Structure 1
């Protein structure tokens, strides 16, 4: 991947948009969705998967699997998306949202919340997504796992 910041911004934007598209499609088909992921291989190809169960257990299983993939396959980016309830700033009630956590192997990580509602078999996004930078979850842990697996003499050569 290019070190050009515009290329990185484009790739993470594409990863977030693709995650939102997958979640939107599942919402239209089923009314809700299980947590899913997109892993970006070094050649730019996507691996896409869905958890076998919902909730935080499903999300945690996906993150664990992505950490393993990042260590073994040297992924360049990954995203996890899930169906959540959030309370927007100034609101008094929780609302439905799609959460996407998108990360680069280099450590940049974004947390995106897209509030939505289902209206007459359509998914309507209520407002622009809320985006914030967050610490890496997948690749920071993958780097630690990889370092712990090396023999001590490999650190000194």
Structure 2
């Protein structure tokens, strides 16, 4: 056997080995994607529905208050509420209820709110909320328009009922 034939055989063996590795990696990728799809995760984006919305009428008009939303995600992927705005209110901020060592309650900026796949978040005075400056013109029974911006689902516009602060008025 001459050098050229030996060299060709070596290259053929190397090419066959490389081809086998590529084929095995491709089969593994297809297998993983098939498992992902059969588990119901592929092609199932987040699907957000805001089912309830309310904003509390502060005792002193024009003061800070909270808005609460019940947000359901019937999709197969999680989503994240990034911000809430309203032309009828200012300084809206996503917050979470906290307690200090002296049992004093306060609200802390949360930056965002995770909405789990096939799950629900119910904002409340003891959990997540939107803290905002109210408009002095708000009246009990009125409605305020809010725009909720989600990471995956984009923006959703909702009408919140204005309710007086009273026992049982917020979840």
TM-score normalised by structure 2 residue count:
0.27
Structure number with greater Rg is 2
- What TM-score comes out, normalization by structure 1 length? 0.29
* Greater length-normalized contact order (CA 8 Å, ≥ 6 residues apart): 2
From the two aligned structures, give the one with the greater helix fraction.
1
